[in-house]
Structure 1
Amino acid sequence: MSKNLVLVGAGHAHMMVLKHLRRFVDAGHRVTVVGPSPLHYYSGMGPGMLSGIYRPEEIRFPVREMTRAEGGEFVEDRVVRVDGAGRRLALGKGGALSYDVVSFNTGSLVPVDPRFAGHAALFPVKPIENLLAARSRILAALSEGKAPDILVAGGGPAGVEIAANLRRLAIDARGRARITLVAGRELLPGFGERVRRRVRRRLAHLDVGVLAGDRLAAAAGQRARLASGAELACDILLLAVGVAPSPLFRDSGLSTGADGGLLVDQFLRSVEFPEIFGGGDCISFAPRPLARVGVYAVRQNPVLLANLERALDGGDLTPFTPQPAYLLAFNMGDGTAVVSWKSIVFGGRIGFALKDYLDRSFMRRFQPA
């Protein structure tokens, strides 16, 4: 019997489903993909796009084209409300979609504290399209001979990569910029000292100032104030202070984790409505907390593909088993990377070559033929 499958968001965890949409269509089902843009940017290569290592077209998927090529319908819009009991999705531009099975992969966003909203040039680092806007703003300033004060708030992996790649951007533009990373409590919390030491050395080599033990407290105009009371010149502010799921699920009254992510079981299925699935940064995994890193979304691909097929056509669901360890590589913008995997830590050009190979392989794997 024909059923309606809706994919909300075309992020990393939905790539395998998008590549194999024809299987659902050939089984007699109608498939609709809802996304805010016909293109989806791969966040793992975002800092490299900021610096110019990658062109924008090298790090994005043409998800509208992919959907249509496989026989699905693409709706350029956002879901603003989920009626789990009625199996309906309200759309931002008006109207609604009904579903028999729906899967969410809407990613995450960087919440903007109202205390920062008055800044003259504020760029949250997600969605990734914001990095394109930041790049244009910085290049414009450099082309006018200015030496902007650029502040990056957030000492996690995103903040480190953004700060390092800003230096590459300024060097390649033959310009000068003062770049400061306000790390918060410490640089790279949760990472071992060997990783932090390598990253600190590389940032120092790149002439990126690091303020650890302090955090951004307020920003307005072209100034920033820290929790310590110190004030900094700040022409451009990039926020990398942690990510959170969209408030969609909580606003819709669905069961969520403490962070507002859609609460799912080991099958990536809503604990409340068995017709709802999800993956990537927008979920809270009930069996155990998961870090919001892209590797989990990538590994959820085959599980979502299998479970959406079985939710429509019958069969036992496949559990998602998170791997106990995963590789992380920090692109330092200068042709090097700091790599961490289990107890192994290394850096240099071989580190960037590894990261670049893995990222490009992921992009090639899911590009349309």
Structure 2
Amino acid sequence: MNERLRSQRIVLWGVGHTNAHVLRMWGLQPFPDTELVCVSNFPKATYSGMLPGVLAGQYPASAIEIDLVGLCQQNGAQLIVEEVTGINLAERSLQFRERPPLPFDALSVGIGSVPTTSGVLFAPQAQVLQLKPMQTLSTRLQQTLSAVAANRPASPLRIAIVGGGAAGVEVALCLRRYVKKTFETFAEVCLVHAGEEVLPGVTTGLRQRVQRELDRSGILVHTGRRVVSVEVEYLHCDDGYTIEADVVLWAAGAVGPSILSQLGLPTEERGFLQTDSTLSVCGHPGVFAVGDSGTIQNTTMAKAGVYAVREGPVLWNNLFCHLTGTSMRRYVPQHSFMKLLNFGDGRAAGEWRGFSFEGKWVWWLKNWIDTAFMKKFRVADT
């Protein structure tokens, strides 16, 4: 392969919603004399919005996976599957555990967020599963539940989900179907949330609809209780209450992956990179932080995939502007967006502009939106 070396290099660290848009656009209109390199810990990406549907048996696991190897090949980009250990800001290069540094002219950091476990003590033998990385969740979940089920052949599996946001609620509603189908046994599922109400930030109407569905499904909801320690078969809360659980799924809050605070770049109190409205990391031209990984100064927007999707075209534009020395575009977050929650039985609930709704048609709408999004990143058959 004697392809002439490109004079400029864009590096996408993480291939989530925003960076994936750049990769897709690269296949349609690559920048002249520039190469695109994607860096990921895994050879595939996982679309979190459809994960509850996998648990409910509505999709195969493959339906929510993006083949990064094939997608990069299809769009003329290079893929490096390797763990990043840092950034050399002086040399403008990405550092790896087991390969030489990778110089860049522009870098977009999009490695997402992780659930917060700050202040929580975990016993070494406790069966605790973080929802992320989602690329390995199906395998980790099956292995863990298999081991627990083998030790409780005549008893239901007791599963506690910590975190009452959208992810925790959807997983709670869909998980019992997964257990019944996979292990032919029953699961007792409870939801533990530190706030006074589940689903903070949604309308009262949607919260009431979801609460009715949780009640109908037999899912016990503990609100106003913060988990302070997890032992084998027990969770201990800050009010002294103890919850029995064989397996704990952790979906509480969102903080920046620890690596973000080790880069020498400005971060906010939760550990996310601080950016301006162009998605550029403050004080570091040519370094961008997108999706959950970045927090725009003077904004209060939640960490939600819809924002990451909308950032895609802005990042695409601003990468080009940085390389060519032209004025960048500002990203202006929308004030509201449609929220849709999967009930796991062919129904869903949602809200839009203050109105809440539920039914089979809502599931159809959610399925249409999700599958249309995934089609954008389908690798063409060869």
Into which bin does the TM-score normalised by the smaller protein fall?
A: over 0.9
Deviation at 1:140, TM superposition (A): 6.0
- Which residue matches 1:120? 126
Cα 1:348–1:141 change in 2 (3 A) is farther
Distance 1:188 1:40, change over 3 A: same
1:111 to 110, 116, 119: 116
The correspondence for 1:332, drawn from 343, 347, 356, is 343
* Letter in structure 2 aligned against 1:280: G
- In the superposition, the TM-score normalised over structure 1's length comes to 0.94
Q: 2:188 aligns with which of 178, 181, 194?
A: 178
Counterpart residue number, 1:164: 173
For residues 29 and 266 of structure 2, the distance between their equivalents in structure 1, rounded to whole angstroms, comes to 28
Q: 2:20 aligns with which of 2, 15, 18?
A: 15
How far apart in 2 are the matches of 1:70 and 1:131?
28
Correspondence for 2:93: 88
Aligned pairs (5 A) from 1:110-259: 110-113=115-118, 114-132=120-138, 133-138=140-145, 141=148, 144-173=153-182, 174-186=184-196, 187-259=198-270
Aligned with 1:56 (options 61, 73, 77): 61
TM-score, normalising length: structure 2:
0.91
- Residue aligning to 2:379: 368
Contact 1:259 1:284 in 2 (8 A): no
Per the alignment, in what secondary structure is the counterpart of residue 322 of structure 1?
coil
Deviates more, 1:197-206 or 1:333-342: 333-342
Q: Secondary structure at the match of 1:107?
A: coil
Q: What secondary structure is seen at the aligned counterpart in 2 of 1:108?
A: coil
**Cα distance 1:137–1:145, how it changes in 2: closer, same or farther (>3 A)?**
farther
Deviation at 1:130, TM superposition (A): 4.5
User: Which residue type is aligned with residue 176 of structure 2?
Assistant: R
**Offset from partner CA, 1:229-270 (integer Å, 9 cap, x none):** 122221110011111122223212211222221111111111
Q: Is the CA contact (8 Å cut-off) linking 1:33 and 1:72 kept in structure 2?
A: yes
Change (3 A) 1:117 1:51: farther
Deviation at 1:299, TM superposition (A): 0.5
CA distance in 2, matches of 1:146, 1:136: 18
2:358 is the counterpart of 1:347: yes
State the alpha-carbon separation in 1 of the partners of residues 163 and 11 from structure 2. Answer: 35
Q: Matched residues, percent identical? A: 30
Please list every run of 5 or more consecutive structure 1 residues that lacks an aligned counterpart in the other structure. Answer: none
- 2:125, 2:235 → 1: CA distance? 8
Indicate conservation of the 8 Å contact 2:45/2:135, yes or no.
Answer: no
